[in-house]
Chains A and B, each alone.
Chain A
Amino acid sequence: METLNRNHISYQEMDGLIRLAEEVSVNIEILKNKVRSKQVQVALYLASIIIVLISMLPNVIERNFYIHISNETFGVISKLLMVLSGAIFAQIIFTIMEISKNKLTIEREEKVLQKLLNMIEGYKDLYIENEYENESSVLSKALFEMRLSRINFG
């Protein structure tokens, strides 16, 4: 086989690529955790709205708290509760918007990571081939493999 005229892939180049992939991967994980906790938030908000609405039924209040409420008081209370549930509802909308924004970012980051891993895989093969006889590279190759095997999509 003829020898190739090459610019060797350096340790620094490989290291840089893998470090970037590690950063993106960590970022994806953080974002995914954020989305998960926001989804829990939405569920809790929804539950609280439902509780508020149920408690607005006059007979529920009467039966549970053994108090008789005049129509006037009930009107005031129900208005207050309406405002409260409206506020919670707005919060839900706001959180859902945030979730979808985060999801878009995650999608973008995943694409970047995918592209990076594609490149790294190819450069790794070139790196291994270049450095085949070099003893010190055995360790660096193993380290690259280990670092890659920790990179996930969250």
Chain B
Amino acid sequence: MTAMPWSLLIRSSFTAYQKRHLLQHLWKNLLTFSDLGKTNIVVLGRPAVGKSVLTSKLYGEANDFSWELPDTSSQVESRAIQLGEWTNLVRVIPGQTSAESDIGIDEAFNKHKELQGVMFVVDWGFTGVRDNTLKESMIKNQGIDTLEKLRQHNLKSELAYFRRVCDKIREAYSNGRKIKWMLIVVNKVDLFPESVENAMNYYSSNSDSPFAETLNETLKSIGELNIKCSIMPISAWQSDFYWNNDTVKTNLGGTDIERELFRELITKISEFSK
């Protein structure tokens, strides 16, 4: 009789151990649902580079037929995403500057030590402009009337945004917070399948682009051994791109490629988060 509770205790703790991933998954989901959890992975990038779509894909909801493309995010989006064995609380910071994005960034970088990784989403200048007034003003008044000019403009703004993110990372490091990895996610490769190499090169620390310069400075100042850094191509959502009279057709070459890219991205993140 007395052996019963002991064996029960041992057995249930063994089951709990076996199911630790599931339990952790449920726990993270609860934290996400109540919005009380601390950010493990933060997704950053300029407006309309595809952060929300990418995260929804990773979460799995974007595969649903009833799912619709989101508009500009005004709120931080929280998702408990299973990457590898463990579940991470992923928070997407809206691209536009507002109190909401400021508070989100502050929470991730300055409030606790749970932040493991930063995903910085870029799109090699293929950022669309959602607002029609702005679009018209850019084309007519600012002379940004070709795709190439738009791309140059976007790359400049992206660099400015990246510098701000790097400042945040450095600041976090100087406050004793150890961010383990940074992933530069090159999205929308379906729009430039032939130049993916060039794009990857532009963002890689081995090149002499201004982006690489900022990246290298940051890595050097926090110590290259402290943070793992990598660049991954992805295509979160295939659609054509229009600017004034220029059109770029989406051309990834099949859903197999899309899936393969996602698989590699997830593998990378789970390898980093180990």
Specify which of B72, B101, B141, B144 is in contact with A118 (CB 8 Å cutoff).
Answer: B72
A122 touches B100 (CB 8 A): no
How far is A110 from B72 in the complex, measured between Cα atoms in Å?
12
A115 on the B face (CB < 8 A) = yes
A153 touches B138 (CB 8 A): no
CB-CB under 8 A from A1, the residues of chain B are 152
Closest B residue, CB atoms, query A132:
B156
B220 on the A face (CB < 8 A) = no
Known: A122-B129, A125-B157. A117 touches B141 (CB 8 A): no
Question: Binding site of A, secondary structure by majority: helix, strand, loop or mixed?
Answer: helix
How far is A51 from B160 in the complex, measured between Cα atoms in Å?
62
Known: A149-B102, A151-B98. A129 touches B157 (CB 8 A): yes
A4 touches B138 (CB 8 A): no
* Number of A-B residue pairs with CB-CB distance less than 8 Å in the complex they form: 74
A115 touches B131 (CB 8 A): yes
B153 on the A face (CB < 8 A) = yes
CB-CB under 8 A from B66, the residues of chain A are none
6 closest A-B pairs by beta carbon, nearest first, are: A152-B99, A149-B102, A148-B97, A125-B157, A4-B143, A122-B134
Binding site for A on B (CB under 8 A): 47, 71-72, 74-75, 95-102, 129-131, 133-134, 137-138, 141-144, 149, 152-153, 156-157, 160
Q: A119-B133, A128-B157 are in contact. List 14 more A-B contacts (CB 8 A).
A: A2-B149, A110-B74, A113-B74, A119-B131, A122-B131, A122-B138, A126-B138, A126-B153, A128-B160, A129-B156, A149-B97, A149-B98, A152-B100, A153-B75
